[in-house]
């Protein structure tokens, strides 16, 4: 699997807006054929920091996601709400085996 972990630091006044826009993006992304997971997490120690845990079957599936209307809308919508630029780190999965991901 191809796993992108995106760290997002949101300005305090836009946290609720960010959650709303990100849930819409997450739900739409889960309907992409190449998407396996889209978990949205909020840091315990700093609730203005989020982690998006995005799992795709391949790098091509991630590239396709970045062309979708819902991703582009999310990207534009949240752009002004970041306290600092968001950072995505790309990984290959080691465990579990590909057939066991859900």
User: Quick one: which of 6, 40, 64, 82 contacts its own copies (CB under 8 A)?
Assistant: 40
User: Quick one: which of 8, 38, 54, 78 contacts its own copies (CB under 8 A)?
Assistant: 38
- Residues sharing a CB contact under 8 Å with residue 15, sequence separation 6 or more, in sequence order: 47, 48
Q: Does 63 bind its own copies (CB under 8 A)?
A: no
User: Quick one: which of 16, 23, 72, 79 contacts its own copies (CB under 8 A)?
Assistant: 23
- List the one residue out of 30, 33, 29 whose CA is nearest residue 69: 29
| CA–CA dist 6, 22 (Å, integer) | 12
Is the bond preceding 96 in cis, omega lying within 30 degrees of 0? Answer: yes
Asked if residues 95 and 16 have their Cβ atoms less than 8 Å apart, the reply is no
Q: Does 76 bind its own copies (CB under 8 A)?
A: no
Q: Which stretch binds its own copies (CB under 8 A): 44-52, 69-77, 79-87?
A: 44-52
Could you say which DSSP state residue 27 is in? H
Shortest distance, position 86 Cβ to its own copies, whole Å: 15
- The contact set with its own copies (CB under 8 A) reads 3, 5, 19, 22-23, 26-27, 38-45, 50-51, 53, 89-96, 102
């Amino acid at each position: 699997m191809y796993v992108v972990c995106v760290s997002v630091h949101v300005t305090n006044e836009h946290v609720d807006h960010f959650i709303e826009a990100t849930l819409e993006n997450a739900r739409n992304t889960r309907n992409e054929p190449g998407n396996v997971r889209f978990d949205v997490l909020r840091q315990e120690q700093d609730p203005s920091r989020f982690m998006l845990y995005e799992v795709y079957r391949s790098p091509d599936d991630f590239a396709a996601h970045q062309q979708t209307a819902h991703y582009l809308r999310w990207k534009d919508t949240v752009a002004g709400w970041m306290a600092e630029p968001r950072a995505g780190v790309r990984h290959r999965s080691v465990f579990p085996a590909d057939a066991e991901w859900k």
